[in-house]
Structure 1
Amino acid sequence: MLFAHDTECGLTATAALVNTVGRDGEGLPDVAALAEFFTAHGWTGRHEQTEAELRSVRELRPRLRRVWYADEDEVVTIVNGLLRESAALPQLIRHDDEPYHLHAVPRDAPLAIRMAVEAAMALADLVRTGELSRLRICDHPDCDNVLVDLSKNRSRRFCDAGCGNRAAVTAYRARKAIARS
């Protein structure tokens, strides 16, 4: 493990949230889709399942996407803003058979605030360890998804949307075409 478990989960969930909007359209089209996202990424605590909650989560995404394009100073500005606006107060918490980890807002805080703070806390760890280069944009030419490279050798190039497979198939077909010529 390169980072604490909660940091890795926070980074992964943040990238997934950012990727719910893109060239393929809206990945959180309704409250049910947000509920699926909530469950898929192991969120706990308050979840109102309302249109207002969905709107606030959607409004968070552009701010988080900006992190993948920002330099270190801008990332710090974004992270500090998210923590300040949320009145974050980090504390060690243990729940749901998880080991101690950091929560910076109560579990009954609105979902968008919890998502913002979890992202900010995880990003703060990347800044503190000098690892912002682990935040990447997918290398596939037809994709603008973001990813977090948590591999030990820093070799991850493609997002989770199947772009690595598409790139491999394209390369294979190109090699076969050259061999036939």
Structure 2
Amino acid sequence: MTADCFALLDDAGTPGAASRLYTGHAATLVCRDGAGWPQLLGEMERHLRQGRHAVALCAYELGIHLQGLPASAAATGEALARVLVFEQCRRLSQAQVAAWLAERAARDASSAGAPGALDALAAGVANIHADVGEREFCAALARIHDYIEAGDAYQVNYTYRLRFDAYGSPAALYARLRARQPVPYGALVGLPDGGAVLSLSPE
């Protein structure tokens, strides 16, 4: 569980690169439909003019709304975009990020009642399953091949969701993933509601 709101935008893939740690949560701006996007941008710009920092969390589905395309799935009620506004931004070296993650994991474990340093490092995922079955997956690939053969597309980014249970501190899980896959565009975001977003993207 994340005790407070922060955002670590992390470059662990480029030698000597600095990462950014945002703290001092000042506001959360939320957009639930495409019509609310311009207002959210206006509010964000107002905070930026006041010297604050903004970190945006946008759902893939926001693009569908912004392009005026029909939604392919029922609305979930989830925010299409959230912008976290912060008072401070600190630049950290890769070693400082590693130290901050270890300290954060220990603090998370302590607040959860874990007795020792080893427990602070215990984190992972279990019960992984895909949102698509084998038949649906094969049918989607066949459609993609048809599009490419017809010349309607030359490349398709086909994705699907994996669902799983996570355990342990988000900081400890992020540190483990970061060590296994150092990327230039990593993120660990502690949300105001106690949840967390972890991302390790190579691009």
Give the alignment's TM-score, normalised by structure 1. 0.27
Higher relative contact order (CA closer than 8 Å, sequence separation 6+): 2
Larger gyration radius, structure 1 or structure 2: 2
Higher percent of residues as strand: 2
Higher percent of residues as helix: 1
